[in-house]
Amino acid sequence: MIEEKIICIGCPLGCETTLKIDDQRKVIKITGYKCKEGRQFVLEEYRSPVRVLTATVLTQNSARPLFPVRTNRPLLKTQLKEAAKALIGVKVKPPIRVGQIILPNIMNTGVDVIATDDLIS
Amino acid sequence: MTQMDTEVLIIGGGVLGAVVARELSRYKVDVILVEKEADFGWGSTKTNMCIVCQGGDTLEFRPEYHRSKLVWDSIPLMEPLCQELDVPFKRVGELALIRNNEELGKFRKLKSKAEKLGLVGHQFIDQDTLRQMEPNVTREAIGALYDPNIAIADPVRLTIALIENAGQNGVQVMRETEVLNIFQKGNQFEVETNRGSIKCRFIVNAAGTSVDKIARLVNSDDFVLYPIRGYVGILDKDLGNLIKHEIHMRPDAPGQMNILTPSVHGNLFFGTTMQPARRGDYSTTRRIAQIGLQNVRKIIPDLSEKDIIHSFAGYLMFRNWEVGWHESVVQASRKVSRFISICIGYPGVSAAPATGREVAELLRREGLRLEANPRFSPFRKASPIFNQLSEKQQKELIAQDSRYGHVVCRCETVTEGEIVEAVRRGATTLDGVKFRTRAGMGRCQGGFCTLRVAKILGRELVLPEEKITKKGAESRILLYKAKELLGGEL
Amino acid sequence: MKFSEVDVAVIGSGPAGMAAAIKAKEEGAEHVLILERQEQLGGLLHQCVHNGFGLLYFGQDLTGPEYACRFVEKVRDLGIEVLLETMVTQISGDRKLTAINSHEGPIHLQPKSIVLAMGCRERSRGQLSIPGTRPAGIFTAGTAQRLVNVEGFIPGKKVVILGSGDIGMIMARRLSLEGVEVKGVIEILPYVGGLIRNEAQCLHDFDIPLLLEHTVTQIHGEQRVEAVTIAKVDKNKRPVDGTEQNIECDTLLLSVGLIPENELSRLAGVDLDPLAGGPVVDERRETNIPGIFAGGNVVHVHDFVDNVSWEAEIAGTWAARLSQKGDFEKKEKITLKPGRNIRSIVPQTISGQNDVTFYIRVKEMEEKVRLKVGDIYHRAFRVVKPSEMIKVDLLQKELNLLKGNSSELVVECEKGE
């Protein structure tokens, strides 16, 4: 049986949790969390860590050189760097409303990249 | 490769090269001044502590030494010069703190010596008067020697003003131009620079930390110079009212000085330590910084490290370090005709006005014909300093150019209009803008304004922002564009 | 709107300024004016492209710009006046305010009340007195964040970050995603300066080395940064001789502390608390000068933007009420005093007549302590950290338990549970 420590990043509290894992890699016990969402988060984090990607993309015809975006759902942690690269060629033009889809289905994950700001000009 | 021709070539655009240029512009003489950095006064001049002293400082007062004589002769010249050039000059007075009878004895001797030489004004003040004049100064001082004549100035602004005035009066000025070699051909010099060659008859070698290096190019090695490194700290403007006078204390260890002074811009500067340094080493070290802080706390005990907003190494070239720092170099070469070298070390700024005249005289003796330039104007107007204007003046300025209403540097209240004007007058780098306008010199040290200044520089110089540098050459601030490191197309 | 008719003037339009202005308007102040020095509303939110904003305030995990959008929309909907690219240069003790912009030139106002919401600035290299040369390539983390997220530049390709504050860690991740080699985050304390969650999702996730109990002792490079020397530090945070190592890099980022930006407050004669860094305020967030209120990072550095907005709303509420009522009755004040292991408490004074939320920061990390507010409140903590602000809510009836006419309330960390 092994113990793994995972910091819950579900909210800024950042509770330090401890997972007891048996030989079949099954989680037997979790301690240290402060809310049920946190417990769920940590469980999933152990099984398959995911992260929201927040980044910027280049613009065209705009006074602003960059535009902020995010994925509308988390990607697998291992996909982050590749996802950042996938945004290199993306160029956005005004007008854009916050929440608008900028790049649908990034890397065929079913996750969309959306605008996090308005782009007026 | 360009070829240029002139009568006098001045090598170096620090305060000394600049004052010579301005002096020579009084005459009908063709002058070119070359400066290797992107802007003026970036060698020893900018690390100067801004005090215009009178030679009668507490350490030495020996007018028989050339250095002291130059300072002495400059005394009546500095204030009128600053007025003509529209640069700051403020008579704050100086208090040399006395801690015990031994120091009192030394100061007594100094005072009587000064009086014998005709330098009046020094007074002894007792402890009570000292408390009234300077309530925040250490209680250990039992009195002080007060010299009401000591003033403060801004050496880089003075240098830039001298250069501008020289330029107005016909001197040609080239920046980012470094002297690589000097050839003697008959009664001419041919000077090879990174921007072409310059033929000239006379050379004034005012190359600061490279004076001896340049002199060696013509095998003129009648002097040896030693690099000396000091330490200067700048305190938060909040503390600007802690003292009103320039204050110093006798050093407790050889090779140190201990000065705390107001600056013309409202900060306090403190300076300390003078140690031999490796050539070209302009770094500060932890040890020197600690000594600096220890020393200034002897003057004002409550000061701490967190009151410092910026610090840097002062560096000077001294002559005859082993026997003390009395002498300077202001001389025609004994080996090579028409080649004058100047290097004052400390106090270079205070000695500048008289040095300008002396060098003109030295050149005359070497054969330069000095015929008065009837079009010479000694006056130069500074660009507007927005936060010093009345509201009416501010409104007028904004009406002419609305960019004067856009504040870019919050800490020092510097407007876009002033920055644009600085670029118009020659700033091409962040530091150039900084020294000319003070943008970036405040307590946030450029945190807010640096990027904005870079944008303005890019726009005014019609350069992409990535090409903007902090101080010329290889000091670009922005190395890559977004996505570039990921292999993105630009 | 004529400038002579401003009821509430708010200086700054970040998460504090906008929240204060909106609340002031909602409380009935008619003419609310925001003065913002940048080209758009939102303050630093625009450069914070990462998420973690609004979890408490909106119940959603938003990015900085998304958080800003919510407030900007409300500012517009409520018809709050905004002056952009306008710098406030002077405030006097009787609320005379001078600002300047390119259109109007110098502007003079005397609003009925003012809310200071200028946020903070970053500690610079000069203030740390890091020895060495003064080359290009040294940035505070916030400046680098603006460069990378707004201006479209990457400062360098080999970066060392001094300080493990949140901004430093966030930038470590951001730069990694932009292809930069982040060679390490150097932290002088034995623990991370920002949130643990950022240590996990910014440093661990990206395999960025974290060197605790280390500091930068020298910067190399004449024109541009070429390397830094780092060394281990002892318990007194002094570098230990012989532990130096050089790290080759072209950029040094500094994430070594935020300082509330109170130059204007000082000019106005507002009393500042040297421990919190900002104005001394009461539970209404009013400073010692009647009619001048403050909220957000200008009062003390917060952890979470949600608290910044909530605090600023307190300031906005009372600024609006004062502008309508004219004055508050000045009650006897109870002063909060920091006791054992307490760095700062906001608000620093209370009337004792209202419910109050205290924001407390400890000096040092400590385990198993009991936080006490006088004799009227205590709570056990497994661990307290300087980087984590502690909120204590006290009801007015609990404050009534204060014995006698105490004019002082001590907040302290008692050892043991």
Half-sphere exposure of B231 (CA within 13 A, CB side): 27
- Binning chain A into helix, strand and coil, the percentages to the nearest 5 are 20, 35, 45
Residues C390 and C379: beta-carbon distance below 8 Å: no
For helices B430-437 and B416-424, angle between their N-to-C axes, nearest 10 degrees: 110
Alpha-carbon torsion angle B172, B178, B180, B183, nearest 10: 10
Express as a percent the part of chain B with pLDDT over 90: 69
Phi, psi of C380 (to 5 degrees): -90, 145
Nearest to B284 among C127, C132, C266 (CB): C132
Q: Are residues A86 and A109 in the same domain?
A: yes
* Structural domain of C143: 124-256
Report the candidate in C205, C114, B187 with the shortest Cα–Cα distance to residue A50. C205
CA separation for the pair C188, C163 (Å, rounded): 7
CA separation for the pair B467, B479 (Å, rounded): 9
Q: What is the pLDDT of residue B217?
A: 95
Candidates C149, C197, C381, C389, partner chain A, best to mutate (most A CBs within 10 A): C197
Residues C183 and C249: beta-carbon distance below 8 Å: yes
A85 touches chain B (CB under 8 A): yes
Q: What is the pLDDT of residue C361?
A: 95
Q: What is the pLDDT of residue C266?
A: 93
- Contact call for B487 and A88, based on CB within 8 A: yes
Q: Are residues A24 and A67 in the same domain?
A: no
For helices B15-24 and B155-168, angle between their N-to-C axes, nearest 10 degrees: 30
Q: What is the pLDDT of residue C59?
A: 93
198-227 of C, contacting B, C-beta below 8 A: 217-219, 222-224
Q: Is A36 helix (H, G, I), strand (E, B) or coil?
A: helix
Candidate from B100-109, B134-143, B158-167 with smallest mean pLDDT:
B100-109
Residue C393's DSSP bridge partners are C357
Q: What is the CATH number of domain B89-151+226-322?
A: 3.30.9.10
Whichever domain contains A79, its CATH number is 3.10.530.10
Q: Which residues of B touch A58 (CB under 8 A)?
A: 482-483, 488
- Chain B nearest-CA distance from C354, in A, is 36
Q: Are residues A41 and A62 in the same domain?
A: no
* pLDDT over 50 at B59, yes or no: no
Find where tokens 């951001």 sit.
C174
**Cβ-proximal residues to B167 (8 Å cutoff; 6+ apart), any chain:** B173
Q: Which amino acid is at A92?
A: V
User: For residue A96, is it within any domain?
Assistant: yes
Half-sphere exposure of B427 (CA within 13 A, CB side): 29
398-417 of B, contacting C, C-beta below 8 A: 398-399, 402-407, 410-411, 413
Cis peptide before B88 (omega within 30 of 0): no
Nearest to C178 among B284, B466, B486 (CB): B486
pLDDT digits (tens, 9 = 90+) for B231-259: 999 999 889 999 999 998 988 887 778 99
pTM: 0.93
Q: Which residues of A touch B489 (CB under 8 A)?
A: 88-89
- Contact call for A85 and B487, based on CB within 8 A: yes
Q: How many domains does chain A have?
A: 2
pLDDT digits (tens, 9 = 90+) for A56-94: 999 999 999 999 999 999 999 999 999 999 999 999 999
Q: Are residues C356 and C399 in the same domain?
A: yes
User: For residue A120, is it within any domain?
Assistant: no
| Strand boundaries in B154-201, DSSP class E | 172-174, 179-185, 188-193, 196-200
* Structural domain of A21: 2-47
Burial of A2 (0-12, 13-18, 19+ CB in 10 A): exposed
3-state secondary structure C379-394: EEEEEECCCCCEEEEE
Q: Which of A47, A63, A80 is the last residue of a domain?
A: A47
Q: Is the ipTM reported for this complex over the cut 0.85?
A: yes
Residues B307 and B235: beta-carbon distance below 8 Å: yes
- In this prediction, residue B227 has a pLDDT band, given cuts at 50, 70 and 90, of confident
Average pLDDT value over all residues in chain C: 93
Q: Which amino acid is at C409?
A: L
- Contact call for C195 and A12, based on CB within 8 A: yes
Q: How many domains does chain C have?
A: 3
Q: Are residues C263 and C281 in the same domain?
A: yes
- Chain B nearest-CA distance from A65, in A, is 9
pLDDT digits (tens, 9 = 90+) for C342-383: 999 999 999 888 889 999 999 998 999 999 998 889 999 988
- Chain A nearest-CA distance from B490, in A, is 10
Domain boundaries, chain B: 1-88+152-223+323-382, 89-151+226-322, 386-484
Q: What is the pLDDT of residue C405?
A: 63
Q: Are residues A62 and A107 in the same domain?
A: yes
- Contact call for C205 and A80, based on CB within 8 A: yes
- Contact call for B486 and A88, based on CB within 8 A: yes
Q: Which residues of A touch C145 (CB under 8 A)?
A: none
Of C412 and C330, the structure prediction assigns the larger pLDDT to C412
Instruction: For strands C81-83 and A16-21, give the pairing.
Output: unpaired
Q: Which of C306, C325, C344 is the last residue of a domain?
A: C325
Express as a percent the part of chain C with pLDDT over 90: 84
Q: Are residues C104 and C20 in the same domain?
A: yes
Q: Are residues A75 and A40 in the same domain?
A: no
Instruction: Find the residue in A nearest to B482 (Cα).
Output: A58
- Chain A nearest-CA distance from C90, in A, is 31
- Computed from CA positions of residues B328, B331, B335, B339, in that sequence, does the dihedral angle turn out positive or negative? positive
Q: What is the pLDDT of residue B119?
A: 77
Task: Please give the radius of gyration of chain B, using alpha carbons only, rounded to the nearest integer.
Answer: 23
CATH topology of domain B1-88+152-223+323-382: FAD/NAD(P)-binding domain (3.50.50)
- Contact call for B486 and A58, based on CB within 8 A: no
- Contact call for C133 and B481, based on CB within 8 A: no
Q: Are residues A60 and A99 in the same domain?
A: yes
146-165 of B, contacting C, C-beta below 8 A: none
* Residue B311 in tokens: 């610090």
Q: Which residues of B touch C147 (CB under 8 A)?
A: 451, 478
User: For residue A121, is it within any domain?
Assistant: no
Whichever domain contains A11, its CATH number is 2.20.25
pLDDT digits (tens, 9 = 90+) for B91-128: 999 999 999 999 999 888 888 887 887 777 889 999 99
- Chain C nearest-CA distance from A54, in A, is 5
Q: Are residues A31 and A79 in the same domain?
A: no
* Residue C331 in tokens: 């009650």
Which partners does chain B have (≥3 C-beta pairs < 8 Å)? A, C
Instruction: Find the residue in A nearest to C200 (Cα).
Output: A7
Q: Which residues of C touch A58 (CB under 8 A)?
A: 152
pLDDT digits (tens, 9 = 90+) for A2-19: 998 988 887 777 888 999
Q: Are residues A60 and A101 in the same domain?
A: yes
> Residues of B near A (CB-CB distance < 8 A)?
482-483, 486-489
Q: Is B370 helix (H, G, I), strand (E, B) or coil?
A: coil
Q: Are residues C140 and C114 in the same domain?
A: no
* Integer CA distances (angstroms), C341 to C236, C337, C371, in order: 17, 12, 10
Q: Is B465 helix (H, G, I), strand (E, B) or coil?
A: helix
Residues C162 and C215: beta-carbon distance below 8 Å: yes
- Computed from CA positions of residues C302, C307, C310, C311, in that sequence, does the dihedral angle turn out positive or negative? negative
Q: Are residues C301 and C194 in the same domain?
A: no
Phi, psi of C227 (to 5 degrees): -170, 165
Cis peptide before B301 (omega within 30 of 0): no
C263 touches chain B (CB under 8 A): yes
Q: Are residues C52 and C9 in the same domain?
A: yes
**Cβ pairs bridging A and B (under 8 Å):** 16
- Contact call for B482 and A65, based on CB within 8 A: yes
Q: What is the pLDDT of residue B55?
A: 53
- Chain B nearest-CA distance from A90, in A, is 10
- Chain B nearest-CA distance from A15, in A, is 34
Whichever domain contains C243, its CATH number is 3.50.50.60
- Contact call for B482 and C178, based on CB within 8 A: yes
Alpha carbon distance, N-terminus to C-terminus of chain A: 58
Residues C49 and C63: beta-carbon distance below 8 Å: yes
- Chain C nearest-CA distance from A23, in A, is 25
Report the candidate in B319, B336, B330, B340 with the shortest Cα–Cα distance to residue B219. B336
Q: Which residues of B touch C137 (CB under 8 A)?
A: 477, 479
- CA angle (B98 as vertex; B93, B104 as ends), nearest 5: 110
Q: Are residues A60 and A30 in the same domain?
A: no
Q: Are residues C178 and C289 in the same domain?
A: no
- In this prediction, residue B63 has a pLDDT band, given cuts at 50, 70 and 90, of low
Determine whether domain B386-484 maps to CATH 1.10.10.1100: yes
- Contact call for A66 and B486, based on CB within 8 A: no
Instruction: Find the residue in B nearest to C121 (Cα).
Output: B444
Q: Is C143 helix (H, G, I), strand (E, B) or coil?
A: helix
- Contact call for C49 and A54, based on CB within 8 A: yes
* pLDDT over 60 at A22, yes or no: yes
Q: What is the pLDDT of residue C305?
A: 96
- Contact call for B289 and C101, based on CB within 8 A: no
* pLDDT over 60 at C337, yes or no: yes
- In this prediction, residue B324 has a pLDDT band, given cuts at 50, 70 and 90, of low
- Contact call for A58 and B483, based on CB within 8 A: yes
Candidates A4, A6, A9, partner chain C, best to mutate (most C CBs within 10 A): A9
- Contact call for B471 and C136, based on CB within 8 A: yes
* Integer CA distances (angstroms), C299 to B209, C88, C281, C346, in order: 48, 18, 8, 8
| Strand boundaries in B327-436, DSSP class E | 329-332, 339-343, 407-409, 414-415
Candidates A45, A90, A116, A121, partner chain C, best to mutate (most C CBs within 10 A): A116
- In this prediction, residue C255 has a pLDDT band, given cuts at 50, 70 and 90, of very high
CA separation for the pair C230, C162 (Å, rounded): 10
Which partners does chain C have (≥3 C-beta pairs < 8 Å)? A, B
- CA angle (B284 as vertex; B448, B441 as ends), nearest 5: 25
User: For residue A6, is it within any domain?
Assistant: yes
- Chain A nearest-CA distance from B483, in A, is 6
* Residue B230 in tokens: 């000091």
* Sheet with strand C334-338: strands edge to edge: C349-350, C334-338, C408-415, C366-373, C377-384
